[in-house]
Amino acid sequence: MSFRPPVSQRPTARDVAEAAGVSISAVSRTFTEGASVSAKTRERVLEAAAALGYRPNQLARSLMTGRTELIGLVSNHFANPTFMEVFDLFTRELQARGLRPLLANLGEGEDGKAALDMLRQYSVDAVLIATSAPPAGFAASCRAAGLPVLHVFGRAGRSSPVPVATVDNVAGGGLVADAMRERGLRRLAFLGGSAHDASTIDREKGFADAARKLLRQTIHAGNYTHEHGRLAMHALLDRDDDLDGVFCADDVLAMGAIDACRERGVRVPADVSIVGFDDMPLAAWASYSLTTVRQPIHDMVLHAIDRIVAWMEHPDAVPRSKLFPCELVTRTSLR
């Protein structure tokens, strides 16, 4: 079968229908998942579409189906290298399911209203929140707008207004404290991000509970950046230069802490051991060789997408929160 391309630069469903010798509705059914169309008709339509370079108009389809296939992917960690892996996974997996991510940046210190307004203006079908510290009330506002919402890296518990998929941060903190105690470290400190961040709070709790009287210092850097970690480590050493173990609430902070030690001539791990959290790719680089707590990011992302898609298909099937296990990855920054 051969077709002559239409005069217009962008072929339409009508052009495909005329070329294939079928109705426009047959073209629409061919490109609608689950719609009834004969194998012969489907073959003719797909052959004509390929010859003409036709792609279905998603905006037009959304008017007919009432769904945009847009999923709001919301975060305030776009500058954190760890989340580059998270966003890469989310976007690839959503696209593989025929869905399109709409990124919304919550920013720092914002109330999230602008992000929510954008999500509603574009009529997203669901929202995935990928941060441990969204603005207060943001998740609840998304649910109040009638949207399926799942909070990845949130804090599981009865107080959460939406289902959560997160790692067991308390257990992770405990793993670090146990490892430090087993190695004879006795003068410990915790270096966290924001004091209001759920992951920092829970990692600190797990560490403090397991370290007990060995925890001598706690400091909050305010943000998860290399510079914040570097400055906070300098402040810790100014307070107590006899520390022999520091648990940092994420890998970026830990790398900043290691560089602060280098600047002061403090040897890692001979003088002080440093442990992070996340196991981002940079953690394994020889220049850091960072002992860290690995969270199963790939599993959490796939779980979140599977659950949000199921919720979209079955609005009454609200998913349950899920807590994922973590593991200690030992490298040379821990004595």
Q: Report d(CA 26, CA 32) in Å as an integer.
A: 10
Are 177 and 290 in the same domain?
yes
Looking at the structure, do residues 153 and 202 belong to the same domain, yes or no? no
Structural domain for 20, as ranges: 13-56
* Residues 45-50: contacts with CB under 8 Å, at least 24 apart: 45/16, 45/17, 45/20, 47/1, 47/3, 47/20, 48/1, 48/3, 48/16, 48/19, 48/20, 49/11, 49/16
Separation of alpha carbons 266 and 264, rounded Å: 5
Q: What is the dihedral of CA 298, 304, 306, 312, to 10 degrees?
A: -160
93 and 160 housed in the same domain = yes
Q: Are residues 277 and 177 in the same domain?
A: yes
In angstroms, how far is CA 249 from the centroid of its own chain? 17
Instruction: Pick the closest to residue 151 from 73, 205, 218, 85 (CA basis).
Output: 73
- Both 229 and 310 in one domain: the answer is no
* DSSP classification of residue 321: P
- b or e along 271-294 (b: 16 or more beta carbons within 10 Å of the residue's beta carbon)? ebbbbbbbbbebbeeeebebbbbb
Do residues 290 and 276 make contact, with C-beta atoms less than 8 angstroms apart? Answer: yes
* Cβ atoms 285, 258 nearer than 8 A: no
Q: Residue 154 maps to which CATH number? A: 3.40.50.2300
Pairwise CA distance, residues 320 & 331, whole Å: 35
- When computed from its CA atoms, the radius of gyration of the chain, rounded to whole angstroms, is 25
Q: Which stretches does DSSP call E strand in 255-297?
A: 273-278, 291-294
Same domain membership, residue 239 and residue 134:
no
Query: Digits of tens for pLDDT over the chain (335 positions)?
Result: 455 544 446 788 788 888 889 887 787 777 766 677 888 888 888 888 888 887 775 555 554 455 688 999 999 878 788 888 889 999 999 999 889 999 998 876 667 889 999 999 988 999 999 988 888 899 999 999 999 999 999 887 777 889 999 999 999 999 999 999 999 999 999 999 989 888 999 999 999 999 999 999 999 999 899 999 999 999 999 999 899 999 999 999 999 999 999 999 999 999 999 999 999 999 999 999 999 999 999 999 999 999 999 999 898 888 999 999 999 999 999 99
Q: Are residues 177 and 281 in the same domain?
A: yes
Q: What is the per-residue pLDDT for 279?
A: 96
Q: Are residues 133 and 177 in the same domain?
A: no
Give the whole-angstrom CA distance, residue 87 versus residue 220: 26
Task: For residues 281 and 180, state if they share a domain.
Answer: yes
Q: Are 80 and 297 in contact (CB under 8 A)?
A: no
pLDDT of amino acid 157: 75
Q: Is the pTM of this model over 0.85?
A: no
CB atoms closer than 10 angstroms to residue 215: 19
Same domain, 208 and 161: no
**Residue 246: beta bridge partners?**
189, 274
Does 233 lie in the same domain as 283?
yes
Give buried/exposed letters for 20-53 (b at 16+ CB in 10 A, else e): bebeeebbbbbbeeeeebeeebbebbbbbbebbe
Q: Which residues contact 145 (CB under 8 A, 6 or more apart)?
A: 116, 119, 120
Tokens standing for residue 8 = 């217009």
CA atoms within 13 A on the CB side of 26: 21
Smallest CA-to-CA distance from 218 within 234, 206, 236, 198 is with 236
Considering its fold, how many domains does the chain have in total?
3
Give the integer Cα–Cα distance in Å for 31 and 134.
Answer: 38
Distance CA 290, CA 226 (A): 14
Tell me, yes or no, whether 265 and 318 share the same domain.
Answer: no
Specify the DSSP element, H or E, that contains 198: helix 198-211
